[in-house]
Amino acid sequence: MLLSSAGWLYGKIADIRNALYDRGVLRSHDLGAKTISIGNITTGGTGKTPLVAQVAEILADAGEKVCILTRGYGRKNERERVLVSDWINVLADTRTGGDEPVELAGKLIGKAIVVADADRVAAAEWAKENFGITAFVLDDGFQHRRAKRDLDIVCIDATNPFGKGTSLSRGILREPLSNLSRADVIIITRAELADDLDQLRSKILRLSPASRIFLSRSELADADSGSSVGLLDIGLSAFAFCGIGNPEAFFASVRRRGYEIKGTRVFPDHHYYTQQEFRELKREAHESGASLLLTTWKDNVKLTELPLTSDAEEFGMLCYAATLVTTIEDEKEFRDLIISS
């Protein structure tokens, strides 16, 4: 009963806050450049980060000077402004800049700068003055209504679209489902793992009849140990581990790509690994009979910051980071929508 009441209260607070923005009591600020928000209506992983990178690449390829604005959850000081990358270099580690911002920075060298700051309005003004930014991508921006946007994109995970349909404390909703009506675009991620896409699409259209819906599919494309040589041998046995919002979706992608999973281990989202934990993972993988450790790029950016030790190849067990390639159906329509927004 207590959890139910807390969830109801959380939803009401979200509704009141949104109403204040809708009526102009709370002000939304124009960032002075094209602004595209990519976010969620639920907590947990929805496959948002690959989409942020994809949208930034589309804008960069169209000639825009792109900045990703992110809070950088889980870093030491979320109120400190950190320039995570400057187009040329990654300038921050994960504890200072956040794991997802550092992951994005590494993938978007030459395409976008990444700024971590809880105050994304102030960060946008700073980025425009210092880097001549012409397009912003708001990472996890659906609830960040202080920043006006030209396009509001919401990701919905096909494997767990709305949880129990209730707000935080009791469920995974950040705000009531009716607020999906604010979205211009809804992307159903991990569509390849869905049980009934037609039913999910119908429910979304009832909630947000004016939104445009795209399907997104993910595939494990490569696994890299940090060397110049990738590894993707079908049939290899792996011990898979991760600290992300939806670990089961990652494990499902690993299996779909042909790996035999000998064992798994799940850590909390945004987890920072210790050297001892990594040793334990290698031991567990060895005892399971796996030929390698396999994790995500988000986890890998933190693992690479661990101090090197003499037992780096203990048990002959190497750790590989998997790359997920995301494909959007009607890709040309989606690209044109991003460019013209």
Q: What pairing do the DSSP bridges indicate for beta strands 151-157 and 34-40? A: parallel
Of 28, 25, 41, nearest in space to 186 by CA: 41
What is the C-alpha separation between 321 and 256, in angstroms, rounded? 16
* Block residue for tokens 């960040």: 144
Which SS3 state, helix, strand or coil, does residue 214 take? Answer: strand
The pLDDT of residue 162: 87
Answer yes or no: are the C-beta atoms of 265 and 287 closer than 8 Å: no
Q: What is the mean predicted confidence (pLDDT) over 9-20?
A: 68
pLDDT at position 135 is 98
187, pLDDT greater than 80: yes
Q: Is 150 exposed, middle or buried (0-12, 13-18, 19+ CB in 10 A)?
A: middle
Contact 54, 102 (CB under 8 A): no
Q: What is the mean pLDDT of the chain?
A: 87
Q: How far lies 212's CA from each of 135, 154, 180, 205, 247, in Å?
A: 22, 10, 12, 9, 28
Please state, for a pLDDT cut of 70, what percent of the chain lies above it. Answer: 86
pLDDT of 220 reads 80
Structure tokens at 269: 């989202």
| Residue 26 pLDDT | 81
Percent of the chain with pLDDT over 90: 64
Q: What pLDDT score was predicted for residue 230?
A: 43
Q: Which residue, among 132, 140, 141, has the nearest Cα to 113 in the 3D structure? A: 132
Tell me which residue of 251, 230, 250, 313 sits closest to 278, measured CA to CA: 313
| Structural domains of the chain, with CATH | 2-218+327-340 (3.40.50.300), 220-325 (3.40.50)
128: burial class by Cβ within 10 Å (0-12, 13-18, 19+)? middle
pLDDT tens sequence across 120-167: 999 999 999 999 999 999 999 999 899 999 999 999 999 889 876 655
Q: Does the global pTM surpass 0.85?
A: yes
Q: How far is CA 49 from the centre of its chain?
A: 3
| Phi, psi dihedrals of residue 112, rounded to the nearest 5° | -155, 155
Which residue is associated with the tokens 């009979």? 289
Q: Which residues pair with 148 in a beta bridge?
A: none
Q: Outline where the chain has alpha helix (H).
A: 2-22, 48-61, 94-97, 99-107, 120-131, 197-207, 247-256, 275-288, 297-303, 331-340
CA atoms within 13 A on the CB side of 89: 4
Confirm if 295 and 319 have CB atoms less than 8 A apart: yes
Would the CA dihedral through 256, 57, 158, 165 be positive or negative? positive
